[in-house]
Amino acid sequence: MYEFQKQLDNAEKKLKGTGGDTDYSDKKFYERFSAEYFEYGKGGETPQNAGYDLRFFSEVKNKKLEKMGDRVIERYSPSVLSETTGISFSDKKYIFKRIFKNFKREVRVYNKRGGRKFLKKDKTAFYENIVMAIPDKIKDDDKFCCPSCGNIHKLKTLEQDCPDCKTPSFITDLFPRVISCFNMKTRALMLKDMLKTLLICCLAGIIAGIPFGVFRMISDMSMPYMTKSLNELISDVFISPLQGAAAGAAATVFIVLGQLIYISIKNAPAAAKANENKKKINEKILEYDKNFSYEYFESRVVYLAQLLIFCDERDKLLVCSLGHTVRKFNIIDSVYSGSMDVKSIEIDENICTVELEISMLDIHDNGEKVFCREDTFIMKLQKDITKTSDISFEVKNAVCAKCGESFDGWNNSICSSCQKEYHLEENDWIVKAFMLK
Ligand SMILES: [Zn+2]
Ligand SMILES: [Zn+2]
């Protein structure tokens, strides 16, 4: 019995574990999607496996940039010693994976006003939140959005031909898909910085070695009986700088080690804070909803915050039920700072309300100039806690609680089949308040 429990615990740990549980195919999928997404960042096409809500977010963001007359070009290059890592957990039908890797990110902003350029360089972890299907658990009658036109149909219909766009799609076109992705500020060692350190140390070693070399040659030459040949005298000059270069390379190793230690010390408070938040939320919610995951929640919060940052028509959004008017933000790029501070969490008659502060590193365009600033937003979220979390949930493919019909929750709030008003908070978190601190 004890042995069995241990096996069960291990299996659970593996599912909810932190790191080390991403396999080769996950990494391959991550790399493929990020490559497509980075192309998209340079003005390319939307990635093939982008989920429905991610596509919606991209549309909203593009609309905003167009309105403001800005073009934002992102460029990514991988950082040294960065591995793809992540967490994963599953419910009965799906597996959720959150995988990331560190990159150097460059953002260039071109605007209509004289095309003045703005350049920002930072180090970020690029997160992909991926939903995979557990084979054999997906049924022919399950409804999905057509990857080509976005309309909802049964899987067996989609496999024939979508009635709306006449394109066939298969389960491999639907899964895995990235339901959201974001950049998080990180401290990481970059290959370029490492090479720079190596170059500086070696050059310093060579320069320091030159006087020693010259001194050795002069002292050899000034011996009363000079026994050395010309060749030996020349090598006298070079040997010390070479030794200096070797010492520089050795020093680089120590400097890099020092930097790695510094980075982990600097990252420690943020990691401790994240753990504290995770504990606070888990303690309250897991009691009601066994399917709750802090990582999934955090990803969802970042998605919603960035959606509200870019969207100017919030009263049309089903994910918003703001009791106040929010002014429009002049933000054109937003990176999650990694800091999410849970201020309060209350459960009142099945409704869970979480109030938090979330920090973003934003690029603003106020019409006169483009500048970067760290913004903290106060965010209040609500969800019906008695309904278990659905890791595959996307607003674009919402399901009516009364008749089970699927419909597009971004554009409708009433079920087209039975006319019941749809309450998103029964499925997922909705935003009750959002403001700049
Ligand atoms: Zn279609
Ligand atoms: Zn209905």
Q: What is the pLDDT of residues 111-140, one digit of tens each?
A: 887 666 889 999 999 999 999 988 788 888
Residue 169 inside a domain? The answer is no
Within this chain, do residues 216 and 350 fall inside the same structural domain, yes or no?
Answer: no
Within this chain, do residues 280 and 372 fall inside the same structural domain, yes or no?
Answer: yes
Within this chain, do residues 38 and 82 fall inside the same structural domain, yes or no?
Answer: yes
pLDDT at 261: 85
Q: How far apart are CA 365 and CA 380, in angstroms?
A: 26
* Nearest bound ligand to the CA of residue 412: 2
pLDDT at 189: 72
Within this chain, do residues 74 and 196 fall inside the same structural domain, yes or no?
Answer: no
Within this chain, do residues 392 and 420 fall inside the same structural domain, yes or no?
Answer: yes
* CA-derived radius of gyration, the chain: 28
pLDDT at 115: 64
pLDDT at 117: 80
Residue 233 inside a domain? The answer is yes
The three-point CA angle 246-252-256 to 5° equals: 160
How many Å lie between the centroid of ligand 2 and the Cα of residue 143?
14
How many Å lie between the centroid of ligand 1 and the Cα of residue 168?
8
Within this chain, do residues 310 and 391 fall inside the same structural domain, yes or no?
Answer: yes
* Nearest bound ligand to the CA of residue 163: 1
How many Å lie between the centroid of ligand 2 and the Cα of residue 406?
8
**pLDDT above 90 for 417:** no
pLDDT at 309: 95
As given in the structure block, the two tokens for residue 314 are 């919030």
Q: Which of 207, 233, 263 is the last residue of a domain?
A: 263
Mean pLDDT of 271-279: 87
Which of the four pLDDT bands, split at 50, 70 and 90, describes residue 191? confident
Within this chain, do residues 326 and 431 fall inside the same structural domain, yes or no?
Answer: yes
Within this chain, do residues 46 and 110 fall inside the same structural domain, yes or no?
Answer: yes
As given in the structure block, the two tokens for residue 342 are 């849970």
Within this chain, do residues 360 and 293 fall inside the same structural domain, yes or no?
Answer: yes
How many Å lie between the centroid of ligand 1 and the Cα of residue 406?
15
Q: How far apart are CA 179 and CA 98, in angstroms?
A: 10
Helix boundaries (H) for 151-190:
155-160, 171-174
Which of 226-235, 294-303, 330-339, 378-387 is the least confident region? 226-235
Q: Which of 221, 248, 263 is the last residue of a domain?
A: 263
How many Å lie between the centroid of ligand 2 and the Cα of residue 408?
12
Within this chain, do residues 235 and 250 fall inside the same structural domain, yes or no?
Answer: yes
Q: Which of 263, 294, 321 is the last residue of a domain?
A: 263
**pLDDT above 60 for 72:** yes
Residue 154 inside a domain? The answer is no
Mean pLDDT of 341-361: 94
Residue 208 inside a domain? The answer is yes
**pLDDT above 90 for 435:** yes
Element (H, E) at 319: none
Residue 146 inside a domain? The answer is no
Which of 189-193, 213-217, 375-379 is the least confident region? 189-193
As given in the structure block, the two tokens for residue 98 are 């959150």
Residue 161 inside a domain? The answer is no
Domain with 233, as residue range(s), is: 191-263
* Nearest bound ligand to the CA of residue 145: 1
- How many domains does the chain contain in total? 2
Instruction: Read off the pTM.
Output: 0.83
pLDDT at 272: 86
**pLDDT above 90 for 256:** no
**pLDDT above 60 for 71:** yes
* Nearest bound ligand to the CA of residue 423: 2
Give tens-digit pLDDT for 91-105: 888 999 999 999 999
Within this chain, do residues 218 and 104 fall inside the same structural domain, yes or no?
Answer: no
Residue 159 inside a domain? The answer is no
> DSSP class of residue 112?
T
Within this chain, do residues 126 and 60 fall inside the same structural domain, yes or no?
Answer: yes
Residue 144 inside a domain? The answer is no
Strands annotated E in 56-201: 70-78, 85-90, 94-111, 117-133, 143-145, 152-154, 177-185
